[in-house]
Amino acid sequence: MRSDLMKKGLERAPHRSLYKAMGYTDEELARPMIGVVNSANEIIPGHIHLNTIAEAVKAGIRMAGGTPVTFPTIGVCDGIAMGHTGMKYSLASRELIADSIEVMATAHPFDGLVMVTNCDKIVPGMLMAALRLNIPTIVISGGPMMAGRFNGKSVDLISVFEGVGKVKSGAMTQEALDELEDCACPGCGSCAGMFTANSMNCVTEALGLGLPGNGTIPSVSAARVRLAKQAGMRVMDLVEKEIRPRDIVTLQALKNAIAVDMALGCSTNTVLHIPAVAHEAGITLDLNLFNDISGKTPNICHLSPSGPHHLEDLDEAGGVQGVMKEISKLGVIDLESLTVTGKTVGDNIETSAVRNREVIHAVEDPYSPQGGIAILKGNLAPDGAVVKQSAVSPDMMTNEGIARVFDSEENAMSAIMEGGIKPGDVVVIRYEGPKGGPGMREMLSPTSAIAGMGLDTSVALLTDGRFSGGTRGAAIGHISPEAAEGGPISLVREGDIITIDIPNKTIELKISDEEMGARRKAHVPRPPAIGHGYLGRYAKMVTSASTGAIFRE
């Protein structure tokens, strides 16, 4: 056993003595030792209940003959960090999470790991650590939040963000927003729509590193606790059979995950995280792969913010396994890929079924013949940009407008809230990329304000930063190279014309090559907004969004 390095033999008597100081018995030390990475805290609704999930995991490990050992990791709540300096630390926390797990699981060589997670950067950070360490690992999420109810309709966190714009435009009273605020998020769990947290939990299941149900079983369901116990038991089987993350996360498994991503209409942030996870597995993913798979995979689900359904509806309708079975009809799922069940994807989905065709459409009757995400390229984004096309109004799929240029989210938000943005404008928010931000802030406030004011069908937003998985409308993020790297977005001027053609995957600044060259020659680079502390180091090390915002080797 790997853990024998720290507990077996004459020379390890002092090590055993330290374990015994914590109450471990000889019988416990003789068993396989499984690290339980518990990201519970009291600042994230998706993590407030994770001690319960971790205890269930530990029970499962003990039932299967192992000894669980818990250690923590940090987590940022994107919703609470949104709209201020705190959001600069969210994406940057992904690397700290991966690094801290590497430290703990190498300093204390466990035989296996169970990673207890739920929200935006914690999930990919843990997946990255799993692939980096490559010891038997299973990931269990805390599950999605239930949708709230307001005036007889299902609502979620995005309803509140958009409510701010509605109050500003006069479409909602402050009293109504106060009531909505109280009921939109009714309890624990990752926010109820197909936002980044739930997207990544579904991706984890599709990759094969999470058990069936990992992405969709509600947080408050007893089935979630049972799944956590099963995760604890299953990791012991992975240890016995020496099944490791890199045995599971192959190129074919990554393609499976991207196909599910496209079918579900997941968050654009998956285009940051999936390549970063692949990198830790030693696999390079070209962004063009997303478009290639999108072209073969129809979008068959419209969950919030794209449509009326929530994760609880998807779970009842058949979940991720039902979606995989449906799109497997098109040959876009590799059925031989191994999963943490010890079985293949084909074995797992054999008994799965779609139970509600309103939630999971048939591949013959999709919402769109293409997947939910598109990669755009052009002279404004030579290395690519990302849009959640499943959440874009048909009227905005092709669009030409006047650039309104802002060098920060705050400046853009002020203009939006003061009524300075008009139909036909293209809002450009720059110096918010991985290096320039630093930290590539997720911007939900501007997009929600635009939607709340009823402008999401007439105003496009572009950024070298990123937009929330809860965003709807023509919100195009991850424009690469970013402004801080001298990318073309740094050369856009107020009043320029920008053309967006999502069906043809292009985004263009309508100026001549000569004018572009002249502007580039006169351009004076701006340093990152924060040059000290962790973010200062992050800005020096981070790469482009087009490569997953990973650290330079």
pLDDT tens track for 180-211: 999 999 999 999 999 999 999 999 999 999 99
How far, in Å, CA of 199 to CA of 83, rounded? 22
Phi-psi bin for 120: left (phi > 0), alpha (psi -120 to 50), beta? Answer: alpha
The mean predicted confidence, pLDDT, of the chain is 96
Residue among 237, 67, 225 at smallest CA distance from 140: 225
**Catalytic annotation, residues:** 468
Structure tokens at 198: 């739930």
Average pLDDT value for residue range 103-117: 98
Is the peptide bond prior to 481 cis by the omega test (within 30 degrees of 0)?
yes
Q: What is the pLDDT of residues 220-232, one digit of tens each?
A: 999 999 999 999 9
Rounded mean pLDDT of 378-395?
94
501 Cβ contact partners less than 8 Å away, ≥ 6 residues apart: 397, 398, 507
| Closest to 444 (Cα-Cα) out of 401, 484, 481, 473 | 473
Q: How far apart are CA 103 and CA 514, in angstroms?
A: 51
pLDDT value for 53: 98
pTM: 0.95
Q: Give residue 501's pLDDT.
A: 97
Q: What's the pLDDT at 165?
A: 86
Q: Where are the beta strands (DSSP E) in 351-422?
A: 374-378, 381-387, 398-406
The CA distance from 33 to 19, in Å, is: 12
- Rounded to whole angstroms, how far apart are CA atoms 145 and 296? 31
How is the chain split among helix, strand and coil, in percent rounded to 5? 45, 15, 40
The answer to whether residue 22 scores a pLDDT higher than 80 is: yes
Q: What pLDDT digit, counting tens, does each position of 130-175 carry?
A: 999 999 999 999 999 999 999 999 999 999 988 998 998 899 999 9
